[in-house]
C-alpha cells in the first residue's frame, strides 16, 4: 500500500501513490482488485501468493467463497448457490474464470488462482466425466477448455451468461490456453459499436421518463434487453442504479445474479425491470439481496 511504502522510503503518501501508479502504468508492478480500506495492493510478478495475507479485508461472503475455492481448487459455477456465484465473481484476485467448451456447449468453472493450469485441466476432465484415455474417445467429439486470464467485468458477464449451457458428452481433446489480448480488444470494440435504437428501448425510455427516473447513460440496447445508468429520487437523496431491463416472461435467480454482479463491478446497486414475473427462486434471491438489487415489473 502507498501509506506503508511512504513510511519505508520517507516520502509523503501522495508522492508514493503517484510513484506506484507510474510503475503500474509501466507494468513494472501489479495491482490487486481487492481493497484494504480505500487502497489497492501493489506487488511484483511472482508475489501473488502474498495476497492471501489480506483476506481478512474481504467481506464475509467473499471470504467464505475464497476458503471454499481454496479447499476444492476448481468449482463448477452451475452447481453453486446464487450467493456463492456472486461472491466468486467479486474475488477477482483469487477466482480465475475458465470456460469449458464441449463441442458447441459451454460450462463455466472457477480455478483457485495459485493452481497450475495443467492441474486444473485434470480436475475439469474429471468433473466433465472425461475419465477414459484420450485415444479411446470418439474422434468426432471435442472439448476445449479456455482459461480467461484477463479479469474484466465484461468477460465475467460473458462467462456468467454462457454458464447456463451444459453438456454431458465426452470428448477426445482437452486443451488449456490463455485468451489473447488482441481477442479481448476486438470484443471491446464490438461492444462499443453504435446500436440502432429498437422498439423495446424506445418504450423503456418513455417509461423511465414517465416515472421521473433520470436516464444518465445507455450502455446496451438489444431487441429484448436494455441496460443503462439511471438516477432515482429517494426520500432524502438521489441514488444511481445500474438498470437492467428484459423482455422476458419469467425472471430467474440467474438473471438477478448477473445483473447484481455487473452492478457491483461499477459499485452500484442493481435495478431490474421486466415485463415478466419473478420465478420462485428469483423471489428467494431477491429477499436475500434486497439491499443491493431491486425488482420492478413493468407494463407498456
pTM for the complete prediction? 0.43
pLDDT band at 267 (very low <50, low <70, confident <90, very high): confident
Q: Is the pLDDT of residue 51 over 80?
A: yes
Specify which residues 145 forms β-bridges with. Answer: 100, 176
Share of the chain above pLDDT 70, in %: 69
Residues forming CATH 3.40.1350.10 domain(s) in the chain = 199-297
pLDDT in tens, 90-138: 999 999 999 887 767 788 999 999 999 889 888 888 888 764 433 333 3
State the residue for C-alpha cell 497450475: 116
**What was the pLDDT predicted at 191?**
54
Most confident of 29-38, 42-51, 131-140: 42-51
- Check: CB of residue 261 under 8 Å from CB of residue 160: yes
What is the predicted pLDDT for the residue at 48? 86
Identify the weakest region by mean pLDDT among 22-36, 57-71, 257-271: 22-36
One DSSP character per residue, 158-180 reads HHHHHTT-------S---EEEPP
Q: Residues 175-229: pLDDT tens digits?
A: 444 344 555 566 666 555 444 458 899 999 999 999 889 999 999 898 899 999 9
CB contact burial 72-99 (16+ within 10 A = b; e otherwise): eebbbbeebebbbbbbbbbbbbbbbbbb
Residue 117: CB partners within 8 Å, gap ≥ 6? 111, 147, 176
Answer yes or no: is pLDDT of 37 > 80. no
**Residue 84 DSSP label:** H
More confident residue, 138 or 242: 242
8 A C-beta contact, residue 90 and residue 156: no
User: pLDDT band at 165, cuts 50/70/90?
Assistant: very low
161 phi-psi bin (left φ>0, alpha ψ -120 to 50, beta other): alpha
Residue 4: per-residue pLDDT: 56
- Report residue 203 as a C-alpha cell: 418504450
DSSP-based helix, strand, coil % in the chain, nearest 5? 40, 25, 30
pLDDT at 192: 52
pLDDT above 90 covers what percent of the chain?
34
Residue 164 has pLDDT above 60, yes or no: no
Closest among 112, 128, 117, 114 to 78, alpha carbons compared = 128
User: What's the CATH number for 199-297?
Assistant: 3.40.1350.10
Instruction: Read off the pLDDT of each residue in 233-249 and give the average, rounded to a whole number.
Output: 88
Amino acid at each position: 500500500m502507498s501509506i506503508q511504502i511512504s513510511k519505508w522510503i520517507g516520502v509523503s503518501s501522495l508522492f508514493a501513490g503517484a510513484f506506484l501508479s507510474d510503475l503500474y502504468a509501466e507494468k513494472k508492478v501489479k495491482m490487486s482488485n481487492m481493497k484494504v480500506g480505500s487502497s489497492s495492493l501493489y506487488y511484483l510478478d511472482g508475489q501473488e501468493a502474498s495476497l492471501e495475507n489480506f483476506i481478512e479485508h474481504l467481506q464475509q461472503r467473499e471470504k467464505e467463497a475464497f476458503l471454499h475455492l481454496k479447499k476444492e481448487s476448481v468449482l463448477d459455477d452451475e452447481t453453486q448457490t446464487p450467493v456463492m456465484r456472486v461472491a466468486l465473481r467479486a474475488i477477482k484476485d483469487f477466482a480465475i474464470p475458465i470456460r469449458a467448451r464441449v463441442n458447441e456447449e459451454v460450462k463455466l468453472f472457477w480455478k483457485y488462482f495459485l493452481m497450475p493450469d495443467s492441474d486444473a485441466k485434470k480436475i475439469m476432465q474429471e468433473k466433465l466425466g472425461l475419465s477414459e484415455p484420450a485415444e479411446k474417445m470418439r474422434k468426432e467429439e471435442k472439448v476445449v477448455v479456455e482459461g480467461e486470464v484477463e479479469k474484466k467485468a465484461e468477460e465475467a458477464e460473458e462467462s456468467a451468461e454462457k454458464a447456463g449451457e451444459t453438456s454431458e458428452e465426452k470428448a477426445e481433446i482437452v486443451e488449456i490456453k490463455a485468451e489473447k489480448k488482441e481477442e479481448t480488444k476486438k470484443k471491446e470494440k464490438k461492444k462499443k459499436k453504435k446500436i440502432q435504437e429498437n422498439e423495446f428501448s424506445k418504450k423503456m425510455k418513455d417509461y423511465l421518463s414517465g416515472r421521473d427516473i433520470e436516464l444518465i447513460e445507455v450502455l446496451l440496447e438489444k431487441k429484448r434487453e436494455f441496460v443503462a445508468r439511471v438516477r432515482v429520487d429517494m426520500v432524502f437523496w438521489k441514488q444511481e442504479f445500474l438498470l437492467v431491463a428484459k423482455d422476458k416472461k419469467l425472471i430467474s435467480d440467474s438473471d438477478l445474479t448477473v445483473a447484481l454482479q455487473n452492478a457491483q463491478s461499477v459499485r452500484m446497486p442493481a435495478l431490474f425491470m421486466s415485463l415478466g414475473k419473478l420465478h420462485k427462486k428469483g423471489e428467494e434471491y431477491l429477499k436475500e439481496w434486497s439491499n443491493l438489487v431491486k425488482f420492478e415489473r413493468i407494463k407498456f
